[in-house]
Structure 1
């Protein structure tokens, strides 16, 4: 039986790649984009299997209306892929208030609104799979991506909590946590702070350290995402790419060692 999948941010990058993979195998996709014309390629290729929806996830009321429209169109929704988001590159000190708010508004609040809109539908159905597109930078941090890191840490905290709250209703929650991939995330879709000389050496070292083989091929993720969607017992945390796991393991090992080093001081602070 084909699945009905709602994908936000489906006009480019991961969203478009995964939409195509799902449509190729016979699933039906409700694809959202801020500019609905950007979805024409999918509609022309897959016809009525695609339901294009104009949506800016920052618009709370529009999100709820769009999700309702998708449910009415297809009769049900089986999977949500909360993919809309962008990268903000720059040192924290360089980041303007507007840039910081825009990053959190889209990457966190936009995802939250779609999540809140879909949960009652899944709860009524007694089933559903919420897939939040986060990042391995929701588990560790890199310099020059402070607000992006913060947005993904927030997504992870929200989603881990959500998984506990909705499990009894037959709803699964998964966090897709890719390492770096060669998508528009770091290119046309990215926002840059106004650079200062203060952080130029740090940025130079950071970008020079990223060798080409560290960037995954976006098209290669489709098989993994299909496996996640088809899993009867999907994981809460799902890393994508060969860089993510060893990097996260090292950071967590260092973190645990630091906790251990200070454990006596920490325990004494309990007071009894």
Structure 2
């Protein structure tokens, strides 16, 4: 049985459709489940839409209990729900920052905490933590998004070590750019400051008008990952994203090496 958060659109919906097409039973959660009604009609008895706001810890725990009861167990949990806070670091309000982290970091942590007793009790299961190919470093205008995903990366590495002995496998799924609506319906924009307009224009030009691939093109990777007996701790999803991550890693290694002489002045 699959539990997928943020399943009403984008990647979450694509993963839910792929799992259902493969014969799986799915509990699909979202804040608003109305978009899932047609899919539930298409797969009667195998898809349970469930309203859940990942930012509400108490609500998450209650919803996970409902999800586990729906089909009697949890096997694969896809921690996918997320949002975008778009703007410069200085521009964001405290309310915007906290609300963003409540969804992208704390929400994923609440789901992880809630499902682990069920996975541990059955002696196994998969927890797929959906982060981003850009979580290894910050970038102007999307710094808070990267920060939330980087925090989830780090916690998930620790979690993978902590639960492996119980048979639970955790994989950090570093997604590339897909046409999920994240930059439209899933975005909160800051109030722009004029001093950043030149950089904002530069960044928007860099993003360009390239058409991102459809979310369903990533679904076969997730299905294959969930079926692996020994899944990796990390997986980059997307051919172009794989190349970008490798390039970023090489650039970071080069930077460290260029200042190695200064680093080695300290004994620690």
Matches within 5 A, 1:1-272: 4-213=1-210, 215-270=212-267
- Unaligned runs of 5+ residues in structure 1 are none
Please give the root-mean-square deviation of Cα atoms over the aligned residues, in Å.
Answer: 1.4
Q: TM-score with structure 1 length normalisation?
A: 0.94
SS in 2 for 1:176: strand
Deviations 1:205-260 (A, max 9, x none): 21222244462322211111111111112121111222222222222112112222
- Which structure's residues are more often helix, by fraction? 1
Q: Point out the more displaced range, 231-240 or 79-88.
A: 231-240
CA distance in 2, matches of 1:77, 1:136: 27
CA contact (8 A) 1:8 1:33 kept: yes
- What is the Cα deviation at residue 142 of structure 1? 2.1
CA contact (8 A) 1:77 1:128 kept: yes
SS in 1 for 2:114: helix
CA contact (8 A) 2:5 2:30 kept: yes
SS in 1 for 2:6: coil
SS in 1 for 2:49: strand
Q: Point out the more displaced range, 191-200 or 123-132.
A: 191-200
SS in 2 for 1:130: strand
Q: TM-score with structure 2 length normalisation?
A: 0.95
CA contact (8 A) 1:55 1:66 kept: yes
* Aligned pairs, number: 268
Deviations 1:111-157 (A, max 9, x none): 00000011111111110100011001212332100110100000100
CA contact (8 A) 2:5 2:12 kept: yes
Deviations 1:21-49 (A, max 9, x none): 11112100001111232321221111110
Cα 1:216/1:139, change in 2 over 3 Å: farther
CA contact (8 A) 1:140 1:248 kept: no
CA contact (8 A) 1:88 1:145 kept: yes
